[in-house]
Amino acid sequence: MIVIYFYYFNSSKNKWVLQDGKIGGVSTDDHAFDISDDFKTIAYRRQRYHTGEWNGGVFVKKLEDGFWNQFQDEIIGGNTPFEFGYNLVLSEDGKRLALYCRTCYNETSSTGMTYVYEIVDQ
């Protein structure tokens, strides 16, 4: 299990300071994550047990008032095993998320698929 902490450089104190807000409980098996260039949006994959099967779930969190808040609902892989969100990337501005499913199932075969989401504030 790993925890992601965020620091900022306080030039008046000439040292790095731990910023309020952290993302905890990310398993080392959940190796896919990305953060926007402005450091205000993070997406990460978490393998989870859902409706009797292992599958991947992707979470998006936004930094608001110094705290990381869950943005809308988790994106669940559905009928894809644990490889949904196997790899993912956020756009520079954190408004688009592309994620890759290494083994996704459709009616006739198992194949890789890429999904693109637009992250819209409501």
Closest Cα to residue 44, out of 77, 96, 89? Answer: 89
Most confident of 2-6, 23-27, 38-42, 85-89: 38-42
pLDDT given at position 52: 62
The residue ranges of every structural domain in the chain are: 2-118
Of 5-9, 21-25, 54-58, 88-92, the one with minimum mean pLDDT is 21-25
Q: pTM for this one?
A: 0.69
- In this structure, the number of other CB atoms found within 10 A of the CB of residue 104 comes to 21
